[in-house]
Amino acid sequence: MIKYQLLFLLLLLAGFSSCQKKNELCEGIWRGELAVSGDRKAPFLFDVKKEAGLATVTLINGEERVKLPGVTFHGDTLVIPIVAYDAVIKGFVNNTRIDGNFIRNYIDGDSGVPFTAVYGVAERFKAVAKPTPHRIDGKWDVLFLSEKGDTTRNVGIFKTDRKVVTGSILTNSGDLRFLEGSYTDDGVQLSAFGGLSPYFIDLTFTDDIRFEGNFYTTRGTTQLVGTKNDGAVLADAYSLAGLKPGYETLSFSLPDLEGNKGSLRDERYRGKVVIVSILGSWCPNCLDEMAFLAPWYEANKSRGVEVIGIAFERKNDEAYAKRAISQLKERYNTGYPILFGGAVGKENVAGALPELENFSSYPTTIFIDKEGKVRKVHTGFNGPATGLFYEEFIEEFNDLVNSLLAE
């Protein structure tokens, strides 16, 4: 018995010591933090696994799992690439701690967002002894107070499972992704990091049906208030944008990845229902839409329906755009073409699609009938993190396409 205990101890020490090696990243759960406004920290969890000596980091947010393969060391510097968002985490590993920065490559001279991580900590937020008796489960009307004069409705949707709170906040531009957190003495703390921007939300209940708090990002702090409302809904996403008076069709002619111009006049689209998605490879809600659209297109293209993506990227540079869009198509195995519309910005969308009116969000999805006429324009995309809202969108999407195919 003593012999087996000694053997177990030796194996444990061997595993621990291998984790202490220079230029070595321990397998298992880590708790990271990214600096946000107000001197606050946005915590998140990630898992490290190794295969054939190569490490992969997986970001964890509620049900979401974002894999970041290709982890390397350059000298003493740990490098975690975030290819989808043209960003990287760089840091120094000191035993079971990492200190470094989250660097956005698309920003020239970006000094980075301070980043730290500790190995073996599986709690996103430290549990409190006496959490608030109030519960956040259900739907909420949520108002961001910095939206001066903005009367749009936002919707929070949350649930609690074994003391862990998950959910999201929906806007007509899209959702805040997979938020995860826990109860505090008087409210709820939630956070998320999917590779683009860290979010941290700190809420305090004023009573059973109201909360107030702050939403922190690297860009700033926004006050928010919420009121419980089981009937909370967003503004109709099909009512926010459309075509200018006197227009029925789109006349764009834009380059694809090979530099060839693509337009609705191409033979490929003649007599077919066409869905045009205005997107950006940098946009999380656009990636959610593509995760839905790419397999949907493969399953439905034989029915006489086509999809075209029009990407607006961080730089008005064809080489940069080609690299970003190619990575996007490869990631989602996208079988439909994606054209390059120019740099991100409303003025560039207006230049590429002059017939479009009241564009306000990436993605925006345009439904075109067999005669080439625009029938519907959908603003934003609320993805899997929104649960029932996402399922309702899929049902509406399929009903609309089916009706256009039946004409």
For residues 112 and 157, membership in a common domain is answered with: no
In a domain, 357, yes or no: yes
**Residue-wise pLDDT tens for the chain (407 aa)?**
444 344 444 444 444 444 656 668 899 999 999 999 999 999 999 999 998 878 999 999 999 999 999 999 988 899 999 999 999 999 999 889 999 999 999 888 898 999 999 999 999 999 999 999 999 999 999 999 875 555 567 999 999 998 999 999 999 999 999 999 999 999 999 999 999 999 999 999 999 999 999 999 999 999 999 999 999 999 999 999 999 999 999 999 999 999 999 999 999 999 999 999 999 999 999 999 999 999 999 999 999 999 999 999 999 999 999 999 999 999 999 999 999 999 999 999 999 999 999 999 999 999 999 999 999 999 999 999 998 899 999 999 999 999 999 99
The torsion angles phi and psi of 294, rounded to 5 degrees, stand at -60, -55
Domain final position from 206, 228, 250: 228
Number of domains making up the chain: 3
Tokens representing residue 189 in the block: 């703390």
In a domain, 393, yes or no: yes
For residues 166 and 98, membership in a common domain is answered with: no
Tokens representing residue 2 in the block: 């003593």
Domain final position from 84, 119, 154: 119
Name the nearest CA neighbour of 257 among 293, 310, 297: 310
Q: What string of DSSP letters covers 151-164? A: ---EEEEEEEETTE
Task: Return the CATH number at 81.
Answer: 2.40.128.120
For residues 205 and 246, membership in a common domain is answered with: no
Map residue 367 onto helix, strand or coil.
strand
Map residue 236 onto helix, strand or coil.
coil
Strands (DSSP E) contained in 86-220 are 87-94, 97-104, 113-119, 138-144, 154-161, 164-170, 179-183, 187-192, 199-207, 210-216
Per-residue CA distances from 258 to 282, 317, 319, 337, 368 (Å): 21, 14, 11, 11, 25
Tokens representing residue 81 in the block: 């690439």
For residues 80 and 194, membership in a common domain is answered with: no
In a domain, 237, yes or no: no
In a domain, 348, yes or no: yes
In a domain, 236, yes or no: no
For residues 247 and 389, membership in a common domain is answered with: yes
For residues 197 and 153, membership in a common domain is answered with: yes
For residue 188, what are the domain limits?
Answer: 138-228
For residues 196 and 253, membership in a common domain is answered with: no
For residues 197 and 256, membership in a common domain is answered with: no
Strands (DSSP E) contained in 20-85 are 28-36, 40-51, 54-61, 64-74, 77-82
For residues 171 and 274, membership in a common domain is answered with: no
In a domain, 233, yes or no: no
CA 73 to chain centre: 27
For residues 174 and 258, membership in a common domain is answered with: no
Task: Return the CATH number at 255.
Answer: 3.40.30.10
In a domain, 61, yes or no: yes
For residues 51 and 151, membership in a common domain is answered with: no
Whether the predicted model's global pTM rises above the 0.85 cut: yes
In a domain, 128, yes or no: no
Contact status, residue 213 vs residue 132, Cβ threshold 8 Å:
no
How far apart (Å, rounded) are the C-alpha atoms in residues 312 and 112? 24
Q: What residues contact 153, with CB distance under 8 A and at least 6 apart?
A: 141, 232, 233, 234, 235
Domain final position from 228, 262, 279: 228
**Opening angle at CA 306, ends 301 and 311, nearest 5:** 130
Tokens representing residue 292 in the block: 């839905």
For residues 291 and 379, membership in a common domain is answered with: yes
Count of CB atoms situated within 10 Å of the CB of 82: 21
Count of CB atoms situated within 10 Å of the CB of 5: 9
46 conformational bin, left if phi > 0, alpha if psi -120 to 50, beta if neither: beta
